[in-house]
Amino acid sequence: MSLLRDSLKEIHKRLSTGELSASDLVEESLAQIAKVDGDVRAFLKVDEEGARKQAAELDKKWANSSTRGLLGGLPVGLKDNLCTEGLTTTCASQLLANYNPIYNATVVDKLAEAESVTVGKLNMDEFAMGGSTENSGFHPTYNPWDLSRVPGGSSGGSAAAVAAGEVYYALGSDTGGSIRQPAAFCGVVGLKPTYGRVSRYGLVAFASSLDQIGPLTKNVEDAAYVLQAISGHDAKDSTSAQVDVPDFLSALTGDIKGLKVAVPKEMMGEGIDAGVKERVQAAIKKLEQMGAVVEEVSLPHSDYAVAAYYLIAPAEASSNLARYDGVRYGVRKQGQNLLDMYLETRSQGFGSEVKRRIMLGTYALSSGYYDAYYLKAQKVRTLIRQDFERVFADYDVIVGPTTPTTAFKIGENINDPLTMYMNDILTIPVNLAGLPAISVPCGLAEGLPVGLQIIGKAFDEATVLRVAHAFEQETERLPVPPLGGKRA
């Protein structure tokens, strides 16, 4: 059994007694990466030298101290849209292939304060635009459960690395489901915090009103530890909320008796695979057996969420990605004049999915179409948020499937953008409303993981974690992924 599959409490105990060192954990991580990443391909950059140096410094520091950080010595992988000083941050795009930030994202500094060790940068869909990690500008990532299938996206590298035991935990970003969907596909826990709970400073922006950083972990308790470490107000981020950070670990009581659980009929209807629906229904029944009060509700405007999202997110992306012109940072392609240089840089640097979304967003914001498309989408967003508010007036959490299907085959949907976009139909409403949500494994369907999504009130991650942890304690854990099948 790998050290990286031990519980965090067990690792803390062994570190404090000197039985285990930070260097031991890092070497375990690097050995597993060397063993399996040739198949999984979760990493874009493994920083062996930097990780060993960080671990050695921690071991030296701990030799004269009995205290350990919240995440002391734990190897972490970072999605490659989180800025890391001195370590390439590419957003899995050829356009940023040579970009070395001169500062850290706030979450990276917070992890350093918690004494975690950064092992490297993880693959993703280019600029976080995609749901399969097939849109990476470098190479796809493969699902450890079946190497012929996608790991999900855009945080597919993060989910796959945790599932394959390459790192103890990882950070991803979630704009429309990009933490929860790959977590469901890879059989790990993925938490999207409330918008504003975690600083976005140093996260390369896709859609600024939707993006949120969160953890991907082996279990719910680990997610609570990581959220504890990365939460808090940040003056560098104007969208960071000035709210208190509760003790998330104290919420993990294992008791959900009397909690009111809402199940939206829209999340359990047409388009949900039979195997997924069966596992989620069994999970909901388990919550009922544990003492929760479960009732069906309606989120009537959720049917319009995908349409609204694919106007709002591309519009914000069109604005955010205008900065990548070959002048200030990233790769520059030569042209006969300035405009020609812009054209060549963006034509060669951006992949097809990024170009598609820039064009969609530019069109939606253009004169004559702004009111008809973008403004109307924002009004629908308000209606979706109001739907959640009405339900949460009477219920503590909302539950349903994380995704309508299990992980699909590599190449199956890559040329069908509409089918790919619909894969996020169950996660997108949460981002539009800015709410917290978690995906926790709830079994297998035909040998592939299924995710149960638990959605909470704004800034009530404690209740979301409480329900997820209680459910996890009462259900059988998934086995270690077999690294099965052949890569497509």
Q: Which are the catalytic amino acids?
A: 79, 154, 178
Mark residue 74 as left, alpha or beta (left: phi above 0; alpha: psi -120 to 50; beta: remaining).
Answer: beta
Q: Which helix (H) or strand (E) holds 31?
A: helix 22-40
State both tokens at 229: 């470490």
- Specify the residue for token string 């939707």: 210
Structure tokens at 384: 């979706």
The reply to whether omega before 154 is within 30° of 0 (cis) is yes
Q: List Cβ<8 Å contacts ≥24 apart for 210-213.
A: 210/175, 210/176, 210/309, 210/312, 210/313, 210/316, 210/431, 210/432, 211/128, 211/173, 211/174, 211/175, 212/173, 212/174, 212/175, 212/431, 213/82, 213/105, 213/107, 213/171, 213/172, 213/173, 213/174
Burial of 205 (0-12, 13-18, 19+ CB in 10 A): buried
Where do the H-state alpha helices sit in 125-199?
156-163, 180-186
Dihedral over Cα of 335, 340, 346, 347: its sign: negative
